[in-house]
């Protein structure tokens, strides 16, 4: 592993220099990697591994929309695409990429298919850490491993195709074969990680659930909505409110943060913007700190996961989810966003 200084704290990470793709292929050459679930992470990890020359099969509910997507992506029924149970029986590394609720529902079947020496792989610590709720308790004679890409499946695939990769955390929960770490790192490289950093199943799920509900999605959505509504209430047009809230962030400023950090973004804005940002940033930090403390405590206690399993496990979950998403889509703010996006030069040329 390479030792990197992260702001005064030295961490060990794994890159392609220490673990090249040829080494990953060698470790995985006799494995049958069965990916269960072709929804969010499944396609990206499957396609990246297939492109990297790794033996991958897909397990999915026969005939559903994700089964059809797998066929469109070149997986062949009876050869590389199978019903869930058949894929699990064929795999030596079973990759649990179903939804968290889906993993809970199918666990008795998956457990039945595990053979001594197999590896049970996750991209999220949910099912293992909250085993009291999920009942996912692996047998002692298999490896239990994790690689968790820090991005959506869409980003995992797009970054791979762009030659960049996406950062991933990794962990070994149970090493029965003595090969668990090699298997983990090999898959981490094969799915297209930019670099891999160590964690534990518990730390991964606590940070992930906090991040999704916080800065990455929930907080971001809520803060955007609040600013947009204040601007509209004070007489600003939808176009002006959206551009000042979302468009300038996504099309300009966040790219500067990505390139060289927050200070770099600040230094590339006007003196007025710099002063205002520096003065108001601590106020926002202090205002939301209690919310984040409450959020983390609910993640750690399991109350957040209890809600996920209860809501996402209901038969009408997808219908109700779509209704909630439609409320966002049909709000004035995001209708304004659709109009703004249609006016971008790249869209107008199509």
Known catalytic residues are 124
Handedness of CA 328, 329, 334, 335 (dihedral sign): negative
Which alpha helices (H) appear in 214-270, and where do they start and end? 218-233, 238-242, 248, 254-260, 262-267
Cβ contact 125:202 at 8 Å = yes
- CA dist 342 and 336 (Å) reads 10
- CA dist 207 and 210 (Å) reads 5
Does an H or E element contain 346, and which? Answer: helix 345-348
C-alpha closest to that of 170 among 205, 189, 144, 146: 146
* Structure token pair of residue 80: 């590389």
What order do you get walking across the sheet with 166-174 strand by strand? 81-82, 56-59, 33-36, 93-96, 119-122, 143-149, 166-174, 193-198
Question: Coil, strand, or helix at residue 199?
Answer: coil
Which alpha helices (H) appear in 81-152, and where do they start and end? 84-90, 100-113, 126-129, 131-134
Q: CB-based contacts of 214: which residues, under 8 Å, 6+ apart?
A: 292, 295
Backbone angles phi, psi at 82, to 5 degrees: -140, 160
How many CB atoms neighbour CB 277 within 10 A?
A: 15
């Amino acid at each position: 592993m390479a030792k990197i200084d992260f702001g005064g704290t030295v961490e060990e990470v794994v890159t392609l220099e220490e673990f090249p793709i040829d080494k990953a292929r060698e470790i995985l050459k006799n494995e049958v990697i069965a990916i269960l679930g072709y929804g969010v992470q499944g396609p990206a990890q499957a396609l990246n591994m297939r492109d990297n020359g790794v033996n991958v099969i897909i397990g999915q509910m026969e005939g559903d929309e994700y089964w059809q997507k797998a066929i469109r992506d070149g997986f062949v029924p009876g050869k590389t695409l199978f019903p869930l149970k058949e894929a699990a029986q064929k795999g030596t590394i079973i990759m649990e990429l179903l939804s968290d609720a889906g993993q809970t529902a199918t666990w008795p079947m998956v457990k039945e298919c595990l053979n001594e020496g197999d590896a049970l792989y996750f991209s999220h610590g949910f099912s293992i850490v909250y085993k009291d709720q999920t009942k996912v308790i692996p047998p002692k004679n298999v490896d239990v491993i994790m690689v968790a890409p820090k991005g959506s499946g869409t980003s995992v695939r797009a970054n791979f195709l762009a030659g960049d990769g996406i950062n991933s955390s990794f962990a070994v929960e149970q090493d029965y074969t003595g090969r668990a770490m090699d298997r983990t790192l090999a898959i981490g490289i094969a799915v297209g990680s930019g670099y891999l950093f160590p964690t534990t199943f518990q730390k991964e799920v606590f940070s992930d659930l906090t991040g999704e509900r916080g800065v990455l999605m929930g907080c971001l959505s809520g803060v955007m909505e609040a600013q947009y509504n204040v601007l509209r209430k004070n007489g600003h047009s939808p176009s002006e409110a959206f551009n000042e809230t979302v468009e300038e962030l996504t099309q300009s400023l966040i790219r500067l943060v990505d390139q060289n950090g927050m200070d770099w973004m600040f230094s590339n804005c006007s003196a007025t913007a710099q002063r205002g940002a520096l003065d108001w940033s601590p106020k926002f930090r202090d205002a939301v700190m209690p919310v984040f403390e409450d959020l983390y405590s609910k993640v750690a206690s399991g109350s957040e996961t209890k809600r996920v399993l209860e809501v996402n496990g209901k038969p009408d979950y997808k219908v109700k989810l779509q209704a909630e998403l439609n409320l966002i889509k049909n709000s004035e703010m995001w209708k304004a966003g659709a109009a703004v996006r249609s006016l971008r030069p790249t869209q107008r040329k199509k």
